């Protein structure tokens, strides 16, 4: 069998296996994300059935997957919604980032990884997975709950923080000295501000420019533009993921509704592509050595996210039961944590990537279970609150 034929057969088998995994996850009520990660680990270097695929192909697949995933995520927000949420819930966002980011930074410093790794680990532990959280809320029928706006508000603030954080991290990793780092950060943040201003003031013009023609033409135009913007963003050290995310925000109006209808069925496919290729890039033989530290960090992450949700729910006027449900919903980590791991790679320490992979794997498994596990305690809190009300 030729190399091309072997690669097609192996990829076909992987994609078919993902379909089976997704169906199995749906039947047992779990998010398929951790299973996709495990599939990537199984088929990657050092796995049970490693693919005979070029490394460049795996890296390109992961890059395309994250661009498409973040484009769809950006379409969920408008620039006006981001600004409004930032004004209303900025205090909660600051507490969220500090409460959840500091344990990651402290872990890296105690481990002797250095300040750059500490900044990277702070991002890894701070940001919940918007994709997993939104899917869990939908699957559990909680989109109409009183605490859900508070949860979504936290996610919006975190995603917006990532739009500023990733360019800074990328610039620091690319810089060779203090002056170079400062210049790179200034350029990256300048580009970010320009793009956000364009999104706020001229999003309609961009939407009209690409929103004409058939659905086929629209998809080709938007996906091609997403790749171009992502590549340009990467060239100025803003991060391809942020470029795609900002493009999604910049598009607005009726075009977004069309794109959501067209890309909605593909969203989970994009997520699967990203998580599988992320798993393919990790050697599972490196995970056992970092599993215990990652597990300890994950347990701390559960506690800090529950505290975040409790604070956000209380600020929104939600009762104790709703506050607990909000915190449990925020537990999963996912796409942004793995994006950070992909950016950093082994540039700081070899253990960084495997530690993040193990951390995300634990919380991607525990995250969808946390709301169900919290339900009995939430019911007790609701009953206690009802009894304490005056007759």
pLDDT score, position 135:
77
- Do 123 and 84 form a contact (C-beta atoms < 8 A)? no
Q: Alpha helices of the chain — where are they, by DSSP H?
A: 3-28, 33-43, 55-75, 79-110, 115-126, 130-139, 148-174, 178-210, 215-235, 240-250, 254-280, 291-315, 320-329, 335-344, 352-388
In this prediction, residue 39 has a pLDDT band, given cuts at 50, 70 and 90, of confident
pLDDT score, position 179:
65
Look at residues 234, 215, 219, 195 and name the one whose alpha carbon lies nearest to residue 270: 219
Mean pLDDT to the nearest integer, 92-114: 93
Fold of the CATH domain 70-381: Na+/H+ antiporter like fold (1.20.1530)
The chain-wide mean pLDDT, for the chain, equals 81
pLDDT score, position 389:
67
Mean pLDDT to the nearest integer, 56-79: 74
Cα 17 to its chain centre, rounded Å, is 23
Q: What are phi and psi of 180, to 5 degrees?
A: -65, -40
Rounded CA separation 201/211 (Å): 17
Look at residues 389, 391, 390, 386 and name the one whose alpha carbon lies nearest to residue 321: 386
Distance between start and end Cα atoms, the chain: 79
Q: Which whole-number Å values give the CA distances from 100 to 73, 79, 105, 307, in the listed order? A: 22, 25, 9, 9
DSSP 284: G
Instruction: List the structure tokens of 177.
Output: 């000295």
Rounded CA separation 173/347 (Å): 8
Rounded CA separation 312/88 (Å): 11
Rounded CA separation 246/70 (Å): 9
In this prediction, residue 298 has a pLDDT band, given cuts at 50, 70 and 90, of very high
Name the more confident of 49 and 291: 291
pLDDT at 309 over 80: yes
Structure confidence by residue, pLDDT tens digits, 165-185? 887 888 778 765 566 667 666
Rounded CA separation 328/36 (Å): 22
pLDDT score, position 180:
62
Look at residues 128, 122, 103 and name the one whose alpha carbon lies nearest to residue 293: 103
Q: Where are the domains of the chain?
A: 70-381
Q: Which whole-number Å values give the CA distances from 337 to 34, 143, 198, 210, 357, in the listed order? A: 13, 25, 28, 31, 9
Residue-wise DSSP of 101-169 = HHHHHHHHHHTT--HHHHHHHHHHHH---HHHHHHHHHHTT-TTSTTHHHHHHHHHHHHHHHHHHHHHH
pLDDT at 24 over 80: yes
Q: Which whole-number Å values give the CA distances from 261 to 65, 225, 257, 301, in the listed order? A: 19, 18, 6, 34
The radius of gyration of the chain's CA atoms, rounded to the nearest angstrom, is: 21
Structure confidence by residue, pLDDT tens digits, 342-372? 888 777 888 898 999 899 989 988 888 888 8
In this prediction, residue 304 has a pLDDT band, given cuts at 50, 70 and 90, of very high
Instruction: List the structure tokens of 5.
Output: 């034929």
């Amino acid at each position: 069998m030729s190399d091309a034929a072997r690669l097609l057969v192996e990829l076909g088998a992987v994609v078919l296996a993902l379909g089976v995994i997704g169906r199995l996850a749906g039947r047992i009520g779990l998010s398929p994300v951790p299973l996709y990660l495990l599939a990537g680990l199984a088929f990657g270097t050092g796995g049970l059935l490693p693919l005979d695929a070029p490394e460049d192909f795996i890296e390109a697949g992961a890059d395309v997957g994250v661009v498409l995933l973040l484009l769809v995520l950006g379409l969920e927000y408008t620039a006006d919604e981001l600004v409004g949420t930032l004004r209303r819930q900025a205090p909660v966002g600051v507490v969220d980032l500090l409460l959840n980011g500091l344990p990651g930074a402290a872990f890296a410093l105690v481990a002797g990884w250095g300040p750059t790794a500490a900044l990277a680990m702070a991002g890894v532990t701070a940001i919940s997975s918007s994709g997993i959280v939104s899917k869990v809320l939908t699957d559990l029928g909680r989109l109409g709950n009183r605490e859900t706006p508070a949860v979504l508000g936290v996610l919006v603030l975190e995603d917006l923080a990532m739009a500023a954080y990733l360019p800074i991290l990328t610039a620091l990793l690319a810089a060779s000295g203090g002056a170079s780092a400062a210049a790179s950060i200034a350029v990256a943040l300048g580009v970010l501000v320009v793009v956000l201003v364009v999104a706020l003031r001229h999003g309609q013009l961009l939407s009209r420019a690409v929103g004409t023609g058939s659905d086929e033409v629209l998809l080709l135009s938007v996906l091609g533009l997403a790749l171009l913007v992502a590549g340009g963003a990467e060239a100025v050290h803003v991060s391809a993921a942020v470029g795609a995310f900002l493009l999604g925000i910049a598009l607005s109006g009726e075009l977004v509704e069309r794109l959501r209808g067209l890309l909605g069925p593909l969203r989970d496919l994009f997520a699967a592509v990203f998580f599988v290729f992320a798993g393919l890039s990790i050697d599972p033989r490196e995970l056992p050595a970092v599993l215990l530290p990652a597990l300890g960090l994950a347990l701390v992450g559960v506690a800090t996210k529950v505290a975040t949700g409790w604070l956000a729910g209380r600020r929104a006027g939600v009762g104790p039961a709703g506050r607990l449900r909000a915190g449990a919903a925020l537990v999963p980590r996912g796409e942004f944590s793995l994006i950070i791991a992909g950016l950093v790679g082994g540039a700081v320490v070899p253990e960084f990537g495997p530690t993040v992979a193990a951390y995300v794997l634990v919380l991607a498994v525990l995250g969808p279970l946390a709301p169900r596990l919290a339900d009995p305690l939430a019911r007790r809190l609701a009953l206690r609150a009802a009894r304490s009300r005056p007759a």
